[in-house]
């Protein structure tokens, strides 16, 4: 390009920008991090519920280690716990409303937050793999009604299959005579396992194919052979029920196979012929759901940061507020910095997932990894800032720290996220 041509092009660009009221271009809206009115309204709505209903109940349900049904009912009554609300969060074309709503709710309390949001794991599986009829039938049943709310469970993990999902032993065999699937196995650590109306279970229909031989099944409420096993006593997230689920000759109608048998048979045939499976598509789905989990961790981190900031301004030692010491003030500065950096990664990945961008560098994993680690670090720092008080159950930051830790473990441990990122950036099958 000659110098004159370059100048002319630059002038044209400046003129175009100046003449464009919204600063956008023909290719789409300009880059902005400013939230629109809908996003702000939803953030305020969820924040209000988190502040007025969730927070005051947090300590009680953490101590009781029980599902906070009255709080779920309150959420259902105002429409926050419903498939309509989840649909509304999801439908935002920028992808930001879902993480924003999660951050606010988990800012209130993560245990109760998970009691409310745990259902969405099963909903996501039905939404991602079900036919339109299956979605219409099962997604509303995951929530029940405002007067009689229900929860749902997503059961993939097993005692010997956590990070290595391909090691799943639960089997599903088709009984042609009755058009039923017979499911046998044991699921571990299922959020809402056994207390759910709807369980979505991942089972192997062909063990030789490992993860490519897996399928997802809906277990309708009251199905014989689907029983809760041991309830897990946990370090944190104690208002959220976690339990084993036993499946003993559990028979479900053929129509409970998500996606339908024809699609499954076609997929298995392709895999057996040695053709590539759609593992890449599955990977993309995981990448797309991870920012939501990251946003939950962000909510915990922010709550701990805000609490310790206020405390540091109030608490006096050596005749001055402890925040006047750089050691404390710099820690709080770093907490704010890390939380904001994590939020940018979460929002980027959420936006990429919703707008169909390809996750070239495992950006979804990056967001969950960063937010989970920031939550653990920030809540630990918050305890330090509160000193002895931070270590007691009289103050909320120790609970936040216990709650935060799960975010480096479930939905893919930090090591697994690093594995996914390192493979994505290098193309090398890093072990």
Ligand X SMILES: Cc1cc2nc3c(=O)[nH]c(=O)nc-3n(C[C@H](O)[C@H](O)[C@H](O)COP(=O)(O)OP(=O)(O)OC[C@H]3O[C@@H](n4cnc5c(N)ncnc54)[C@H](O)[C@@H]3O)c2cc1C
Which residue numbers are catalytic? Answer: 411
222-to-13, 120, 134, 225 alpha-carbon distances in Å:
64, 20, 18, 9
Pairing assessment for the beta strands 316-317 and 171-175 based on DSSP bridges: unpaired
Q: How far apart are CA 228 and CA 230, in angstroms?
A: 7
Q: End-to-end alpha-carbon separation of the chain, Å? A: 47
Applying the rule CB under 6 A, the residues between 170 and 229 that interact with ligand X are: 189-191
Q: How far is the CB of 415 from ligand X (least distance, A)?
A: 3
292 binds ligand X (CB under 6 A): no
- Cβ distance to ligand X smaller for residue 88 or 184: 184
Q: How far is the CB of 73 from ligand X (least distance, A)?
A: 22
The sign of the dihedral angle between the CA atoms of 188, 190, 193, 197 is negative
Interface stretch with ligand X, choices 143-151, 157-165, 258-266, 300-308 (CB under 6 A): 157-165
- Cβ distance to ligand X smaller for residue 242 or 289: 242
- Cβ distance to ligand X smaller for residue 245 or 385: 245
The DSSP output letter for 25 is B
321 binds ligand X (CB under 6 A): no
- Cβ distance to ligand X smaller for residue 42 or 243: 243
154 binds ligand X (CB under 6 A): yes
409 binds ligand X (CB under 6 A): yes
341-to-87, 373, 396 alpha-carbon distances in Å:
27, 12, 24
- Per 3-state DSSP, the chain is made up of helix, strand and coil in percentages (nearest 5) of 60, 15, 25
Q: Tokens standing for 18?
A: 């100046």
CA angle 343, 107, 384 (to 5 degrees): 85
413 binds ligand X (CB under 6 A): yes
Q: How far apart are CA 93 and CA 91, in angstroms?
A: 6
> Which residue from 419, 420, 421, 424 is in contact with ligand X, where contact means CB under 6 A?
419
100 binds ligand X (CB under 6 A): no
For residue 215, which phi and psi values (nearest 5 degrees)?
A: -145, 160
- Cβ distance to ligand X smaller for residue 181 or 410: 410
> Which residue from 162, 254, 260, 387 is in contact with ligand X, where contact means CB under 6 A?
162
Interface stretch with ligand X, choices 21-29, 53-61, 234-242, 393-401 (CB under 6 A): 234-242
Interface residue list for ligand X (CB under 6 A): 121, 154-157, 162-163, 189-191, 234, 237, 242, 406, 409-410, 413, 415-416, 419
């Amino acid at each position: 390009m000659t110098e004159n041509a370059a100048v002319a092009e630059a002038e044209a660009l400046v003129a175009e920008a100046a003449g464009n009221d919204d600063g956008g271009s023909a290719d789409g809206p300009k880059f902005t991090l400013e939230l629109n009115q809908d996003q702000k309204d939803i953030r305020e709505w969820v924040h209000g519920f988190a502040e007025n209903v969730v927070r005051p109940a947090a300590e009680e349900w953490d101590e009781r280690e029980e599902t906070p049904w009255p709080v779920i009912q309150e959420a259902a009554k105002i429409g926050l716990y419903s498939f309509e609300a989840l649909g509304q969060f999801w439908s935002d074309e920028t992808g930001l409303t879902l993480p924003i709503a999660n951050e606010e709710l988990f800012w209130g309390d993560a245990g109760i937050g998970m009691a409310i949001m745990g259902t969405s794991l099963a909903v996501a599986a039905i939404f991602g793999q079900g036919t339109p009829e299956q979605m219409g039938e099962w997604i509303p049943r995951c929530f029940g009604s405002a007067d009689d709310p229900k929860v749902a469970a997503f059961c993939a993990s097993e005692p010997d299959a956590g990070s290595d999902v391909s090691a799943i032993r639960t089997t599903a065999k088709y009984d042609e005579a009755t058009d039923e699937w017979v499911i046998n196995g044991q699921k571990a650590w299922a959020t809402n396992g056994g207390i759910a109306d709807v369980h979505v279970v991942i089972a192997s229909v062909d063990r030789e194919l490992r993860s490519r031989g897996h399928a997802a099944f809906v277990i309708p409420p009251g199905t014989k052979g689907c029983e809760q096993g041991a309830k897990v006593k946990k370090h944190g997230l104690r208002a959220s029920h976690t339990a084993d689920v036993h499946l003993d000759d559990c028979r479900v109608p053929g129509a409970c196979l998500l996606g339908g048998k024809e699609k499954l048979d076609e997929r298995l045939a392709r895999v057996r012929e040695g053709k590539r499976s759609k593992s890449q598509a599955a990977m993309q789905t995981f990448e797309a759901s991870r920012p939501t989990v990251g946003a939950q961790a962000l909510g915990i981190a922010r709550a701990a940061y805000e609490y310790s900031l206020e405390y540091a301004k109030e608490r006096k030692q050596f005749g001055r507020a402890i925040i006047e010491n750089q050691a404390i003030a710099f820690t709080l500065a770093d907490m704010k910095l890390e939380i904001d950096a994590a939020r940018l990664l979460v929002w980027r990945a959420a936006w990429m997932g919703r707008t169909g961008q390809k996750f070239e560098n495992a950006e979804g994993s990056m967001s969950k990894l960063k937010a989970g680690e920031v939550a653990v670090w920030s809540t630990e720092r918050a305890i330090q800032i509160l000193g002895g008080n931070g270590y007691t159950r009289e103050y909320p930051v120790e609970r936040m720290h216990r709650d935060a830790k799960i975010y480096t473990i479930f939905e893919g441990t930090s090591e697994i996220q690093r594995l996914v990122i390192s493979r994505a950036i290098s193309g090398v099958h890093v072990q």
